[in-house]
Structure 1
């Protein structure tokens, strides 16, 4: 965890409201870090419906494998998260560590191991010392309260510089419900479940199949629309729990009109958490929003957007506050998507820097450079080919990113 807080961090960290039906606690288990919390346990005493989306990496962590299997039951009684060790690429030892973790958590929660969900984040390739959870989970279960979501967010941090916690209040039918979410991530962040974890909890009464449809339908334009370094983690996990504690009729279908406002709130919350992750990108000093319009399709626009967002040359130009729009042209051209050089237009903020395949006749280096000096830099590219559009978010690439990752394991 970096000692310096990102300049893009929130100015304050308000406490989130309680969510009925969930209790949690944090502890220091000494997994990797000394003198800081590194374990989070959530308890759903009456059970909760659960949905999840996970990394598309072909080298997933043992915890991801465990959650995918547990998700088949659709119900959760406990969530156990550790930071400092990803329990990924750990072979048979990794599988044994998840089984032991789940057994210990299940005994503490009074449930079956299959009702326990696990997440691990941190160093890849190091066996997880799950035996350190022995006793710790019992203390966590005994101490769990409806307490501080900010502390829960802090317990799952690795190289993050600040906790990420967001809340929404909304109606589901005639019932007032709360939706809270926490997330961690600062490096190894790219789409396909852009080492990112997020846990969302609502007191609404929504079935697991409906939750799954809501989550799967929302992740594309939120957590899968961000990139810090183009690297997809082995551990990416997003879990959405619904305790039903708010009461009201249980909703069985994601198409139920009573979920209209909840869908919007879920999208807003996930988008805010995703953007907080980008703003905490390792070494980041600039938050960049890239909007591609005029593409032949939304999918084509998205691929072009990520070609720009993942370009080291674009990202280093942003870091250097250099209005080098030629690098945008390069990234569009290399994307392998339909594009016409002579129809291309590019904006930095409100400043159009290129149009019709050449530099704008009214181009002002001073005006473009002024945009690049801001912390928030909107970039727009119009291809002039169709109606496809997409927006993705990224950050700059600085010397600090290299420093953080050069000694990450030390």
Structure 2
């Protein structure tokens, strides 16, 4: 038996890892946080990251994962579903050092956002958006004017994509409601996507990056096979219908140009409609109304929508290359139940810091630090990088950093 729990007032039963790992189905889900065992079978439906996120952690120690992704909510609510503790719970030296590192960066104030930085980010997004409209208004609809306008608008949309990422991770304001409102404004109204859809996909990605069947961002097997495991599996079972041996060639014609203007245009409305999320559907529709109002006087309704697709086509290249260069070239495998630090480092890599790289990638060039500390404001990630690198060197964990061109080249490789 565990020693007395002060909140329960009576001894708690103890379990072995063998006991915990028997409860890994959707109808019977246990997880471990800080050596305590939680039955989240019913509560997982209320989890802010979605039930699938917790189910992906079933039978595992998700202490630091929970700490990094919604731990405050998870622990406070999970008290009511704590059923006991592990008979033996040992934290590795790596995880002990990581906890100390997290405490250090908190004391350094790296989880406090700069209002000046995020104020400038928002201002320059709106400036690019206005600039795109103004070019068409002032110079007309010649091919050159439309091209310049499209580049400005695509820049605004790409930078808004990086900005919404900050609010989606609740790394700007301490008040989660304010973060959520601005997140919906940027994604639904400004970009015509969906906050709920993004949350669903992105939290799953962070909990199990590059994990087959658990990370939606690598569910590409309809067209592409990533990593070293899936190609062998598909080859042996003769699965799939694409000429995967040539995927490095047709990549340029499929994912970068078509992900945003084609696939996401279908997936996002389907996601909202299937969940009857009519509020977000309304705000998403308001984006298209806004776009037509902005450009209908110059291009007509059909022309405005065609212009929108062209802007998305440009942005899609920017988005795909930037987001995939940190993950696709790294290890892609089934869930090996690794500790938090090792699992994140195997699936992520950094890109060298420069003023341009930071701006162009929305500071996602510090993907390692972002995955280890998802709620850290992005302008502070570079300050945590030397400490994380020292931790990795101490424990022999690979810390990969590439040039911007090299990281993009490795996608094709």
Same fold (TM over 0.5): no
TM-score relative to the length of structure 2: 0.22
Higher helix proportion: 2
The structure that is strand-richer by fraction is: 1
